[in-house]
């Protein structure tokens, strides 16, 4: 009996002490003391003392506290990462965190109250399927097969009925419900820069070909005119030689006729050394002919 009373008394004292030592909802306990909490947007700079209340300061940039607190640092703001398919819907403030939403074409896969932590792209329907339920910020796209004898490119919310081919003509096979937009032939489209480059190169090549052709024609004409001039010079020399030879022969004939009437003696009295008058005239004519043709005389050739 005495033991029971003793135990009850100890328990009563314990609960009385605990009730007296508990801090109220606007305080926090530190080192056995109850200190006043800091308001949202601030944090504890210095805990309370015997005669000093809690000292609070504003949250630093990029941090926040959205409730009364007794912490010495504010919490970091949430970053809305575009790589995760997120965008900032509400900027972070000292008293509230940032709120993230999803980028267009994405839906949230990790949501929290009022925001989203991660997202991914909506499903793209394949050809032969249509969009039964378009995707939203929190739900993915729902695709469904097109009914028989209809088709879709995968981007429509309905299917288009197929037009039946007349009998006797080939019918598209083998996938009746699939219409692939990439299956058609594609024409090659060159960039504008490539077209311009090809045109410039073509023009340069044509100009070079024209220049070469002009040069070849000019050289041929020059060579032809030079050959014609040499040919005419040779003809003139041959004609001159022919005339001189004819004149020489006529002179020799005339002198021969006269020689028959004159004695064959030179002034020195040696007809063999001086030769006949006809031979002397022939030698003079040959010297004249060689001079006209630009050739060395017979005397010069003999001396050499």
Residue that is last in its domain, among 33, 51, 76: 76
Kindly report the length of the chain.
304
Mean pLDDT for 33-46 is 95
Q: Per the structure block, which two tokens stand in for 71?
A: 């912490």
The per-residue pLDDT of the chain, averaged, comes to 76
Number of helices followed by number of strands (H, E) in the chain: 5, 14
CA distance 40 to 57: 11
In a domain, 248, yes or no: yes
pLDDT at residue 266, rounded to an integer: 42
Query: How confident is residue 104, by pLDDT bands cut at 50, 70 and 90?
Result: very high
**What SS3 state is found at 117?**
strand
Check whether 260 has a pLDDT greater than 90.
no
Query: How confident is residue 6, by pLDDT bands cut at 50, 70 and 90?
Result: very low
pLDDT at residue 244, rounded to an integer: 67
Query: What CATH number corresponds to the domain at position 52?
Result: 2.10.50.10
Check whether 91 has a pLDDT greater than 50.
yes
CA distance 122 to 133: 11
In a domain, 65, yes or no: yes
CA distance 57 to 38: 8
DSSP assigned state of 276 = -
pLDDT > 90: percent of the chain: 46
In a domain, 54, yes or no: yes
Rounded to an integer, what is the distance from CA 303 to the centroid of its chain? Answer: 83
CA distance 64 to 75: 5
In a domain, 146, yes or no: no
Query: How confident is residue 188, by pLDDT bands cut at 50, 70 and 90?
Result: low
CA distance 23 to 40: 19
Residue that is last in its domain, among 35, 53, 76: 76
pLDDT at residue 251, rounded to an integer: 75
In a domain, 139, yes or no: no
Query: How confident is residue 120, by pLDDT bands cut at 50, 70 and 90?
Result: very high
pLDDT at residue 70, rounded to an integer: 94
CA distance 232 to 271: 43
Please give the residue that has the higher pLDDT: either 194 or 68: 68
In a domain, 103, yes or no: no
What range does the domain containing 66 cover?
24-76
Query: How confident is residue 106, by pLDDT bands cut at 50, 70 and 90?
Result: very high
pLDDT at residue 38, rounded to an integer: 96
Query: How confident is residue 234, by pLDDT bands cut at 50, 70 and 90?
Result: low
Residue that is last in its domain, among 50, 76, 102: 76
In a domain, 245, yes or no: yes
In a domain, 227, yes or no: yes
Strands 63-64 and 106-112: unpaired
Strands 27-30 and 33-36: antiparallel
The total number of structural domains that make up the chain: 2
Query: 93 and 62 in contact (C-beta within 8 Å)?
Result: no
Of 3-17, 114-128, 157-171, 246-260, highest mean pLDDT: 114-128
Mean pLDDT for 119-133 is 94
Query: 219 and 211 in contact (C-beta within 8 Å)?
Result: no
CA distance 34 to 25: 10
């Amino acid at each position: 009996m005495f033991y029971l009373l003793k135990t009850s008394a100890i328990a009563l004292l314990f609960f009385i002490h605990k009730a007296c030592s508990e801090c109220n909802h606007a305080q926090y306990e530190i080192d056995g003391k109850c200190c006043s909490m800091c308001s949202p947007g601030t944090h504890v700079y210095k805990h309370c003392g015997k005669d000093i209340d809690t000292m609070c300061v504003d949250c630093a940039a990029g941090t926040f506290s959205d409730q009364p607190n007794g912490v010495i640092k504010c919490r970091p703001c949430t970053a809305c990462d575009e790589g995760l398919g997120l965008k900032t819907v509400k900027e972070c403030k000292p008293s509230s965190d940032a709120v993230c939403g999803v980028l267009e074409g994405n839906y949230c896969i990790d949501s929290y109250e009022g925001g989203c932590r991660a997202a991914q792209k909506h499903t793209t329907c394949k050809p032969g399927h249509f969009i039964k339920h378009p995707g939203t910020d929190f739900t993915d796209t729902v695709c469904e097969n097109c009914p028989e004898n209809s088709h879709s490119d995968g981007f429509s919310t309905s299917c288009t009925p197929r037009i039946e081919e007349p009998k006797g003509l080939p019918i598209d096979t083998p996938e009746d419900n699939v219409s692939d937009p990439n299956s058609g032939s594609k024409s090659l489209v060159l960039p504008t820069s490539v077209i311009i480059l090809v045109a410039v190169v073509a023009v340069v090549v044509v100009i070079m070909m024209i220049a070469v052709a002009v040069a070849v024609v000019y050289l041929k004409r020059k060579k032809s005119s030079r050959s014609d001039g040499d040919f005419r010079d040779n003809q003139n020399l041959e004609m001159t030689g022919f005339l001189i030879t004819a004149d020489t022969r006529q002179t020799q004939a005339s002198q021969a006729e006269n020689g028959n009437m004159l004695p064959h003696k030179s002034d020195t009295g040696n007809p063999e050394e001086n030769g006949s008058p006809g031979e002397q005239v022939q030698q003079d004519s040959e010297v004249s002919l060689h001079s006209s043709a630009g050739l060395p005389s017979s005397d010069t050739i003999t001396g050499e």
